[in-house]
Amino acid sequence: MGLRFGLIGCGEIGRLRAMALTRTGSARLVAVSDLDEGRAVAVASRHGGTVEQSWRALLHREEVDAVIVSTPPSLHAEMCIEALRSGKHVLCEKPLARTPAECRKILEAAEQSRRLLATGFNYRFYPSVQKARAILDAGMIGELDHIRSYAGYSVADHSHPWLHDVEVMGGGALRDNGIHLIDLTRYFLGEVAEVKGFASNSVWGFKGCEDNGFALLRSPTGTIASLQASWTEWRGYRLRVEIYGTRGCIRAWCFPMVTQVVWATERGGQARRRFHLFPITHIWERLRSYRWVVIQSFIEELQAFSLATRGERTALATGHDGLRAVEIAHAVSHPSTSGHT
- Which element (helix H / strand E) includes 288? helix 279-288
pLDDT at 19 over 90: yes
Number of neighbouring beta carbons within 10 Å of residue 204: 17
* Range 165-194 average pLDDT: 98
Strand duo 258-263 + 248-254: pairing: antiparallel
Domain with CATH 3.30.360.10 in the chain: 123-338
Note the pLDDT tens digit of each residue in 55-89. 999 999 999 999 999 999 999 999 999 999 999 99
Q: How far apart are CA 83 and CA 86, in angstroms?
A: 5
- pLDDT bucket at 134, cuts 50 / 70 / 90: very high
Number of neighbouring beta carbons within 10 Å of residue 109: 20
* Range 199-220 average pLDDT: 97
CA-wise closest residue to 55 among 38, 69, 39: 69
Q: How far apart are CA 36 and CA 209, in angstroms?
A: 27
95 compared with 334, residue with greater pLDDT: 95
* Range 239-267 average pLDDT: 96
Contact criterion met (CB below 8 Å) for 49 and 67: no
CA-wise closest residue to 225 among 301, 337, 147, 135: 147
Domain with CATH 3.40.50.720 in the chain: 3-122
Strand duo 224-230 + 212-218: pairing: antiparallel
pLDDT reported for residue 341: 55
The phi, psi pair for 168, rounded to 5°, reads -95, -45
3-class DSSP string for 200-242: ECCCCCCCCCCCEEEEEEECCCCCEEEEEEECECCCCCEEEEE
Rounded to two decimals, what is the model's pTM?
0.96
User: DSSP 3-state assignment of 195?
Assistant: strand
State whether CATH 3.10.20.340 applies to domain 3-122.
no
Contact criterion met (CB below 8 Å) for 294 and 122: yes
Cis ω before 255 (30° cut-off from 0): yes
Homologous superfamily assigned to 123-338? Dihydrodipicolinate Reductase; domain 2 (3.30.360.10)
Type of residue found at 313 = R
CA-wise closest residue to 174 among 324, 330, 339, 334: 330
